[in-house]
Amino acid sequence: MRQNLKWALAALMVTCAATAVPLAASLADDGASPIFGVRIPEGYRDWKLIAVGQEVALNELRGVLGNARAVEASQGGALPFPDGTVFVKLAWKHVPVEGLDGAFVSGSPTTVQIMVKDSAKYATTGGWGFGRFIDGKPVDEAQHRTCFACHEAHAKDHDFVFTRYGR
């Protein structure tokens, strides 16, 4: 009986250990943005360039990439963007080129910011879900509450997207 109990306990511990890791990982750091549940899409760094930008207050230069649907829709120019459109904005530090006044290159990465179009799922935010990531981890809920407010205030006439395709 004692032997059986020991085996039963051992089996229980193994079961707990086996389930503990994925449970902990999914609860503590599942990689999805608060509010929207947006994740960093696989392979995004190899997506095509839509356009570039600058954010002086953050001392950043940006490149906006898009999945195939984003590229096609941006080239065509028709609005609204179709469901399945995904934009990824990569932000880097704004770094002067030594000895060349007024020339700047992109330096170390700061954030990766994502917009996903799903008009049903994100009906209350113009059809867009947002994700803002630092080192692959989503930033907090308070920051995510600011995304749509700004896109709504300044880019409503272009389906809440600042970026136009750069020819």
| Interacting residue ranges for a second copy, rule: CB under 8 A | 45-46, 48-49, 51-57, 61-63, 65, 90, 92, 94, 97-106, 109, 150, 153-155, 162-164, 166-167
Which residue number, 137 or 154, has a Cβ lying nearer to a second copy? 154
Tell me the C-alpha distance between 90 and 46, whole Å: 12
> CB of 14: closest distance to a second copy in angstroms?
40
> CB of 110: closest distance to a second copy in angstroms?
11
> CB of 20: closest distance to a second copy in angstroms?
33
Which residue number, 22 or 77, has a Cβ lying nearer to a second copy? 77
Query: CA-CA distances (angstroms) from residue 95 to 53, 59, 105, 107?
Result: 14, 9, 5, 6
CA 16-22-24 angle, 5° bins: 85
Which residue number, 34 or 162, has a Cβ lying nearer to a second copy? 162
Tell me the C-alpha distance between 50 and 72, whole Å: 10
> CB of 113: closest distance to a second copy in angstroms?
13
Tokens representing residue 59 in the block: 């001392």
Which residue number, 134 or 150, has a Cβ lying nearer to a second copy? 150
Which residue number, 24 or 150, has a Cβ lying nearer to a second copy? 150
Rg (CA), the chain: 22
Tell me the C-alpha distance between 54 and 76, whole Å: 24
Q: What single letter denotes the amino acid at residue 103?
A: A
> CB of 164: closest distance to a second copy in angstroms?
7
